[in-house]
Structure formats: C-alpha cells, structure tokens
C-alpha cells in the first residue's frame, strides 16, 4: 500500500468522524431534555444535593415582586436546596444551556446539572411552596 492510499484512508476516517460529531451536535441542539453535566454559573458553589435556579430579570414590577417571593420562600428551604437567581439578560450562557424560553422559569437540578423539575410562569407564594414540596417528595 502506497502513501497516497494511506492518506486517502486517513482522510476518509477523519471525515467520517467529523460527520458523526456534527450529526450529534445538531441532534442534541434540538433535544431540549439533554442532560447538563457539571454546570455552575460561577456565582454560588453547590453544596447540597439539589439546587433551585430562578431565571428572570429585574425589568418589570411583577417580575421583581415574584423574585422577592422566591427569595423569601427559599429562605425556608436553605437547609435542603441551594438557590441561585439568574438574570437572563446578564447570563445568556446559562439561559441557553437550560433552554429558557419564558420568564420566569424555575428549575430544580441535581449536582450534575440534570434538570429534575421545571416550572414556567408567575405563581403565588403558596403555589410555589406546594410545587417545591411536591418536587422534593419526588426526588
């Protein structure tokens, strides 16, 4: 076998690997349920088994009021859940990683960053407490 044949075979193998990787990237970008592994926003180290993220922004009164409700409720769960507020306009990488399409969105994730529960939209304080309690029972 001459050098030219070896180069053709090697180039074919590299092209096949590239196509496989490209195919997987395209397929996974459309899959909104893919797992997120070892993600952190860089702000708060996760010390507990689960973390609650609130994705929102501080631009409207109703969102600011909801942010305050979530922060207040999370004080009662500080022994069970880590908590982090993510401003979607300031942290686009986390927003994109978790496919945040509406605000507010609340996620409960495990230490690997896998989304266990997702809640979209504004709810009352009691509804939030009930949702967290139900989620915690199902973990």
Q: What is the pLDDT of residues 80-122, one digit of tens each?
A: 999 999 999 888 888 888 999 999 999 999 988 889 999 999 9
Edge-first strand listing for the sheet containing 81-87: 81-87, 50-56, 105-110, 115-120
Integer distance in angstroms from the first to the last C-alpha of the chain?
Answer: 59
- Cβ-Cβ contacts under 8 Å for 64 (sequence gap 6 or more): 58
Structural domain boundaries in the chain: 1-31, 50-137
Q: What is the pLDDT of residues 117-132, one digit of tens each?
A: 999 999 999 999 999 9
Per the model's pLDDT, the better-predicted residue between 72 and 6 turns out to be 72
Question: What is the architecture, at CATH level 2, of domain 50-137?
Answer: 3-Layer(aba) Sandwich (3.40)
Helices (H) and strands (E) in the chain, counts: 4, 4
Number of Cβ within 10 Å of residue 43's Cβ equals: 10
């Amino acid at each position: 076998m001459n050098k030219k044949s070896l180069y053709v075979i090697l180039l074919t193998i590299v092209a096949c690997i590239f196509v496989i990787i490209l195919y997987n990237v395209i397929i996974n970008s459309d899959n909104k349920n893919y797992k997120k592994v070892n993600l952190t926003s860089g702000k708060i180290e996760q010390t507990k088994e689960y973390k609650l993220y609130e994705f929102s922004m501080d631009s409207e009164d109703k969102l600011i009021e909801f942010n305050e409700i979530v922060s207040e409720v999370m004080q009662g769960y500080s022994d069970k859940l880590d908590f982090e507020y993510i401003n979607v306009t300031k942290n686009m990488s986390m927003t994109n990683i978790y496919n945040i399409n509406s605000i507010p969105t609340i996620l409960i994730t495990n230490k690997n960053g896998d989304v266990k529960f997702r809640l979209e939209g504004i709810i009352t304080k009691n509804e939030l407490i009930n949702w967290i309690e139900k989620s915690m029972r199902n973990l």
